[in-house]
Chains A and B, each alone.
Chain A
Amino acid sequence: HRQNPGVSHGCQGGCATCSDYNGCLSCKPRLFFFLERNGMRQTGVCLPSCPSGYYGTRSPDINKCTKCKSDCDACFNKNFCTRCKAGFYLYKGRCLESCPEGLGPNDQLMECTTI
């Protein structure tokens, strides 16, 4: 079985396999695989947690990073934000431009809180 000449096993950080050009191709167990963009080029990296704006999904085969919604800076999953982007208030995992009835915008916390 001829090994792919491009893939190396002596890799940095959390990589299990990597290549000079593409960085990490696969990760050591339980780390998240993430594609870092540098201009047109994409480089694979292995992280213990996904970067800001992404959330991690663990599964038996691969742990991967997925983008949060556009109005969200940090999230637990696709539909549950933990920190909204500027201009939005966080309420029960959602980013709102204005708070629901009975709640008021807290500009320090950027959350909807009881009035």
Chain B
Amino acid sequence: APCPTPCRCDGDGGADCSGKGLPAVPAGLSAFTYYLDISMNNITELPASVFRNLPYLEELRLAGNDLAFIHPEALSGLQHLKVLMLQNNQLKTVPSKALKGLHALQSLRLDANHITVVPEDSFEGLLQLRHLWLDDNSLMEVPVAPLSNLPSLQALTLALNRISHIPDSAFANLSSLVVLHLHNNKIKEIGEHCFNGLENLETLDLNYNNLLEFPEAIKALPNLKELGFHSNNIAVIPDGAFSQNPLLRAIHLYDNPLSFVGSTAFRNLSELHSLIVRGASMVLRFPDLNGTENLESLTLTGTKIDTIPASLCEDLKLLRTLDLSYNEIEELPSFQGCTKLEEITLQHNRIKGIQADVFRGLASLRLLDLSRNQIRSIHKDAFMSLTSLTNLDLSSNALLTLPTSGLGGLNQLKLAGNMDMKGSLSAKDLQKLRTLSVPYAYQCCAFGGCDAYLNTNPDQGSKSDGSRKKIMYSPGEEVCEGSVAEDEGERIQLAVHCSPPTGAFKPCEHLLGSWM
């Protein structure tokens, strides 16, 4: 089969003439060519009937040329064309006349041109078109009339344009549409019925726009599974916001100046797996999550919530991560029903005490952050069932002592900032500890925190009398490898990174006298 230079043909109907600096469509291609790639050349226009000898063409790639004009008859005869790629060119309008005869076309790429005009008759006759890219152009409005000619369209992107408003019934005839991308426009307001007709829509992307109000129009989208409106200017998520979208799996709403979230906004979303709401500063009550039983990750921070409902773990049995930091929570319910919980973050609240049953039954919990609260007391059995806990942060509280039963598996413990906790800790209860922060340096001594006077020569191996060898990690950071065994037979090698480190002015010996 003929294959004009500089093209490469695969002998099976495929011809690749891309990136060859061609000024025009090469002549002399086989009549049986079904795939032609002439992208990344210097073709500025397509004259009439330029593909008349390629009646079997199914895929035509013209991306990355300098196409500014396509003759109305340029694509005539391409009855079998399914894929047409015109992205990354210089088109200012949709070549509506040229597209008219492409009855088999399924995918049309017009992205990254300079299109400001979409003629009314654009896309007429394209009854098979399923995927349309119009993103990264200069559209000022949704091309409502042209889009009404596309009964088979399933995926549409109008992202990266200058659309500022979506009128009612903008997509009314697009009953097959499944994906709609509108991100990175200037959309400030949308009609309350602008999504009417989109009963099959599953993905709606409104991210990076200027929306001031919650898009109530989503009520027309019963099959919506993924909704994005992050990076807008929305302050309020109303009650019942998603009541008509029971299949929602993901909601991306971060980077909005949220101040209020209706307490019933997230009810009955049984497909939702993750919910992240940050900084809704005027929210007073914990949201009602009844019926949202498959939630695995809940982040709700920066509110005025002071109480966690006792029924939380009846509703959310599958919860694995819970972040309720930076609220005003004073008391904790029992999380007993949330048996799959792995991470709980409650830092920066007003918690005063931990009862015996708060963390009962949480055998999967690995990380617990209770820092920056006002915790004075912790029930001695509070950590009893936390057999998987490795990371506990109780720093900056008002603790006097720490109950250590159940903490045998810890490798990181933070207690700094509990200035009333002056007693020493028992190393034998915390044998797997690797990192420890304590209120006072002398408390490091129980974990091999050595005194600078005892061992000055780092190269000395550990002496037969069991005294300690000093290893310098980096200037100022001392870690001591040594034995803290109490009886002769048992020798626990413990490399604990303990802070604040003991040093010249805070030797271990002067345990009883305070150098404060």
Contact = CB atoms under 8 A, between A and B. Distances in A.
A44 to B, nearest CB: 16
Interface in A73-110: 76-77, 79-80, 82, 92-93
A79 B223 CA distance: 14
B221 interface: no
Interface string B113-137: 0000000000000000011000110
Interface of A: 13-14, 30-31, 48-49, 58-60, 76-77, 79-80, 82, 92-93
Given A14-B64, A58-B112, A30 B178 contact: no
B88 interface: yes
A93 B131 CA distance: 10
Contacts of A80: 154-155, 178-179, 203
B105 interface: no
Given A59-B184, A92-B154, A93-B179, A31 B64 contact: yes
B160 A59 contact: yes
A40 to B, nearest CB: 26
A59 B19 CA distance: 25
Nearest to B203: A79
Contact of B85 (A13, A49, A79, A93): A49
A93 B203 CA distance: 11
Q: Name the prevailing secondary structure of the A interface residues.
A: loop
Contact of B226 (A59, A60, A79, A92): A79
Contact of B87 (A13, A14, A49): A49
What 5 A-B pairs are tightest by C-beta distance, nearest first?
A48-B63, A48-B64, A76-B155, A30-B112, A48-B88
Contacts of B184: 58-60
A58 B154 contact: no
B159 A58 contact: yes
Interface in B64-78: 64
Contacts of B160: 58-60
Given A31-B64, A31-B88, A80-B155, A14 B40 contact: yes
Contact residue range for chain B? 20 to 34
Contacts of A49: 39, 61, 63, 85, 87, 109
B418 interface: no
A58 B178 CA distance: 19
B107 interface: yes
Contacts of B202: 79, 92-93
Interface in B155-194: 155, 157, 159-160, 178-179, 181, 184
B180 to A, nearest CB: 11
Most buried by B among A31, A48, A59, A92: A48
A60 B185 CA distance: 10
Contacts of B87: 48-49
Contacts of A76: 131, 155, 157, 179
A82 B131 contact: yes
Contact of A30 (B61, B88, B155, B159): B88
B478 interface: no
Contact of A58 (B39, B40, B135): B135
Nearest to B63: A48
Contact of A77 (B61, B112, B130, B181): B181
A92 B152 CA distance: 10
B346 to A, nearest CB: 33
A79 B180 CA distance: 12
Contact of B136 (A30, A92, A93): A30
27 contacts: A13-B40, A14-B40, A14-B64, A30-B112, A31-B64, A48-B40, A48-B64, A48-B85, A48-B88, A49-B61, A49-B63, A49-B85, A58-B135, A58-B136, A58-B160, A59-B184, A60-B184, A76-B179, A77-B155, A77-B203, A79-B225, A80-B155, A80-B178, A82-B131, A82-B155, A92-B154, A93-B202
